[in-house]
């Protein structure tokens, strides 16, 4: 990879839920092919689009070209780029609007992505339900996880039917 002799890394903020149009991806790739190595890491460990490898003299032209339509990601030692699951856009289990929450936090704290305010590499992640598709518990400092807020829904007939075969379905299959 001759274009990676000087290894500057750029991060681009992902949209909430990681939704892209093909035109947007094509534009990003064209800019990176023009100025950088062409190597990417889509969503890295932070959720950002990561552009791997460019020379120092092309940093300003890349940033100038990208800043018209995109936001730089949180690659410093302060707050990292917030991320979320697809939430109510595609998931029936979402208990709140993760896309809106992530967008609002990103907009409110955008300056803190690069200027000290939070502890070292602070990460927000928004999961719409306890399935935690975005791995917020494992990979963030502040997990916002949607939970059910209502009385527990129980079908006594299903419980009775399930319990009929408990000996055969559970106890008899136990290896101990």
pLDDT in tens, 33-84: 999 888 888 876 667 788 888 888 988 898 888 887 776 665 556 777 788 9
168 in the same domain as 99: yes
Residue 88's pLDDT is 94
Look at the chain and report how many structural domains it folds into. Answer: 2
Q: Tokens standing for 99?
A: 């896309």
Residue 93's pLDDT is 92
Residue 145's pLDDT is 97
151 in the same domain as 82: yes
Residue 114's pLDDT is 61
pTM above 0.75, yes or no: no
One-character DSSP codes across 99-116: HHHHHHHHHHTGGGGTSS
Distances (CA, A) of 26 to 23, 36, 111: 5, 15, 27
46: domain range? 1-75
| 12-30: average pLDDT | 86
169 in the same domain as 99: yes
63 in the same domain as 98: no
State how far the Cα of 76 lies from the Cα of 62, in Å rounded to an integer: 18
pLDDT in tens, 99-155: 999 999 888 887 666 666 766 778 899 999 999 988 899 888 999 999 988 888 889
Of the residues 34, 49, 75, which one is the last residue of a structural domain?
Answer: 75
């Amino acid at each position: 990879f001759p274009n990676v002799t000087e290894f500057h890394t750029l991060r681009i903020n992902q949209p909430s839920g990681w939704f892209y149009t093909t035109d947007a991806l094509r534009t990003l790739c064209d800019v990176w092919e023009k100025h950088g190595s062409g190597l990417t890491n889509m969503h890295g460990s932070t959720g950002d689009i990561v552009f791997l490898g460019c020379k120092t003299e092309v940093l300003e032209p890349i940033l100038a070209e990208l800043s018209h339509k995109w936001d730089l990601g949180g690659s410093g030692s302060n707050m990292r780029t917030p991320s979320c699951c697809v939430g109510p856009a595609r998931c029936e289990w979402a208990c709140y609007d993760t896309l809106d929450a992530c967008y609002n936090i990103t907009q409110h704290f955008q300056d803190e992505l690069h200027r000290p305010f939070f502890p070292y590499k602070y990460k927000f992640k928004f999961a719409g339900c306890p399935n935690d598709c975005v791995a917020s518990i494992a990979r963030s400092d502040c997990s916002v996880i949607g939970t059910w807020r209502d009385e527990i829904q129980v079908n006594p007939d299903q419980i009775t039917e399930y319990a009929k075969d408990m000996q055969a379905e559970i106890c008899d299959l136990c290896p101990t």
